[in-house]
Amino acid sequence: MKAIISPPAGAFCRSASTALGPLLRAAATILCGLLIAAGPARAAPAAAAEAQMVRGEYLARVGDCIACHSAENGKPMAGGRQLATPFGVLYSTNITPDRETGIGGYRFEQFERAMRQGVAADGHNLYPAMPYPSYAKMTGEDMQALYAYLMQGLAPVQQANRPPAMRWPFNQRWGLALWNWAFLDATPFQPNAEKDATWNRGAYLVQGLGHCGACHTPRGMAFQEKAMSEAGNAGQHFLAGETVESWRALSLRGLWTVEDTALFLKSGQNRFATAAGNMAEVIHHSTQHVKDDDLRAIATYLKSLPPGRHELPAPALPRAQAGQVPDNLFSSRGGLAYVQFCADCHRQDGSGVNKIFPPLAHNPAVTANDPATLVHITLTGWQTAATAAHPRVFTMPGFARLKDQELAEIITFVRASWGNGGQPVSASQVKRMRAELAPKSPDSASFETPRLADMLARPNAGQLVRGMRLHLETKELLPDHVGDQLNCTSCHLNAGTVADGSPFVGVSAFFPAYAPRAGRIINLEDRINGCFKRSMNGKPLAVESPDMKAMVAYFDWMKRATKPEDKVPGRGIGKIDRAIVPDPASGKKIYAEQCAVCHGENGAGLKSADGRLLYPPLWGDQSFNIGAGMARTYTAAAFVKRNMPIAFHGTFPLGQGGLSDQQAVDVAEYFSHQPRPDFPEKVKDWPKDKKPADARY
């Protein structure tokens, strides 16, 4: 018997047909036909079940179940995430198939009732923070598939649910039955016969599983969504924008082109914006995994919606031309603060850096009537969504160390510039948001960053601003003296205002001073011209020229009350252990992973689409020459250790630093020893003192 059962049906039939006599052959043929048919018949339900479960997993992605039903650092779908509401705190529930603490005991009918009516298996009402009013639009087929995945595609996790902490009377669940009676429409989605299949597919996903309205539709007095679709008199409210957990969920009605919206949902970025806050999570967990056809359907539906009344479009103002810098960038407090704290990433023209830092010009979070998202990000920071298209996460640190008035000046400048047309933001608005969010600033405040905006109060403000700009825009303003593509701020970050970024704070108090490389006492003008000849691979400035005097005046403004014997916190670039042996092969790999995105795969720097240099070259003819301090391994390593890469984490003000000492030495060895210009005057260096071991000559 075992020999007959074990082989596949086809093999058994072939052997039986040969072995049986002529009288039994016909019967055997019939029997074998039944066996052959029975094999696929048994396989068909299994294949169908597998396909249903795969579809259910996709639907769970579309519905973004994992985002709400997974606590930070917790097990997926096991619940426990805190959900803040105006009425108290809820905790998401365990939806794994664990029979004791999850939904493993739910029959399909009970699951469907929870999804469409918000009633759990034991009969208690769910709070509509669970978007069952949207899920009610799902088809029966999709509901079955989602149920199959949750029951069979997930591993059960035994984790008890946390009880909600809702205030009275909202802790009385019987009231939710009245809420359902008043506001719930559990009718599944009905296609619009006047629209095509793409539009209807997009409407189904947006209104149903995508539950976009849960965040983007304004709420009524009973916290109900004012509309669940675009239809009817209330339809003007659907997806017209709402403020949720101190984020402004923008109006989605006709916001961008179909292509721009689909790209944003797939990658977390497009030419107008980069996802922030809760939307970055949605893209990471959900929309980047959605099929391209479905994304296009969603975008097609959203594009078809006319602007709603709740979130009016920004006033129609002339749009700034590409590359245009605001007239008051260097003459207003908000403009100078933007230059100091924002322009390195978002650029003077507000264009950002493609695929790295978002533009601020015409960014919907900037132009929105309600500036909540912009204020929120400025106080607490931001991260890009990690997607397959853009796997590297870039971070903007929070600027909570700045005062309310300073932040209001920056935000107001951004909202008013580049044709954004936004209304001013007051210090009191920032103060209220700060109190609500209670942002933390973990960075040491021992180094007090000078505020460029304060230069405007000085009698020689014009000269100081010119001096600052000469450090910031050296190549553009002094083309005859700069022979490469660097500016002073390439090494002296944010125009010399960043701790351990070779800041200018107090520096002029230490000159004249003995310089071992020159073998003599030099003054500040000598030091500045040394940078022009080495780091800039250029020509010195005349000592009595207005531009040299402006640069020195800028240094003197930053001297403050510093005396020659003082120690200035954050001065220089710090030290690094010279006993670390560099590994250039490791350095090459680190460069490719961490540096090439800004400095180019071949070290030639990063340019904008119109050819403007955004970040400087690290080697080649347009980089610093071998006489520069940055051409030495351990000097470069100390700088890299504390200042590169930027946007790596939440350190104020650039998210700078983060590599280990060994990594910094390795990558410094790699890029500092790449080909670069010679320095003819190198023969005069270190006439009296011992030359450093890592000198290039």
How does 254-279 read in b/e, with b if 16+ C-beta sit within 10 Å? bbbebebbbbbbbbbbbbbbbbbbeb
Q: pLDDT for 343-391, tens place per residue?
A: 999 999 999 999 999 999 999 999 988 999 999 999 999 999 999 999 9
Residue 7 has pLDDT above 70, yes or no: no
Helices (H) and strands (E) in the chain, counts: 28, 11
pLDDT band at residue 441 under the 50/70/90 scheme: confident
Q: pLDDT for 86-144, tens place per residue?
A: 889 999 999 999 999 999 999 999 999 999 999 999 999 999 999 999 999 999 999 99
- What is residue 41's predicted lDDT score, i.e. its pLDDT? 56
Name 470's Cβ contacts closer than 8 Å, sequence gap at least 6: 477, 478, 488, 547, 550, 551, 554
Name 624's Cβ contacts closer than 8 Å, sequence gap at least 6: 484, 486, 534, 535, 536, 537, 630, 631, 676, 677
Looking at domain 584-684, which of 3.40.50.720, 3.40.50.150, 1.10.760.10, 2.40.50.140 is its CATH number? 1.10.760.10
Q: Residue 310: how many CA atoms within 13 Å on its side-chain side?
A: 24
Under DSSP, the state recorded for 513 is: E
Looking at domain 333-437, which of 3.50.50.60, 1.10.40.30, 1.10.760.10, 3.30.565.10 is its CATH number? 1.10.760.10
Q: What are phi and psi of 353, to 5 degrees?
A: -125, 120
Burial class (CB in 10 A: 0-12, 13-18, 19+), 613: middle
Q: pLDDT for 178-190, tens place per residue?
A: 999 999 999 999 9
| Element (DSSP H or E) covering residue 433 | helix 427-437
SS3 of residue 458 by DSSP: coil
Residue 32 has pLDDT above 50, yes or no: no
Q: pLDDT for 35-46, tens place per residue?
A: 344 555 566 788
Name 498's Cβ contacts closer than 8 Å, sequence gap at least 6: 449, 570, 643, 653, 654, 656
Residue from 232, 149, 472 nearest 336 by CA:
472
The CATH number of domain 197-303 is 2.30.30: no
- What is residue 279's predicted lDDT score, i.e. its pLDDT? 93
User: Taking the chain, what is the end-to-end CA distance rounded to the nearest angstrom?
Assistant: 87
SS3 of residue 373 by DSSP: helix
Residue of higher predicted confidence among 403 and 442: 403
Q: Do 197-303 and 584-684 share a fold? A: yes
Residue from 676, 671, 694, 666 nearest 585 by CA:
666
Q: Which of 1-15, 35-49, 212-226, 465-479 has the highest mean pLDDT?
A: 465-479
The ranges assigned to domains in the chain are 2-62, 65-183, 197-303, 333-437, 455-559, 584-684
**Mean per-residue pLDDT of the chain:** 90
pLDDT band at residue 440 under the 50/70/90 scheme: confident
CATH code, 455-559? 1.10.760.10
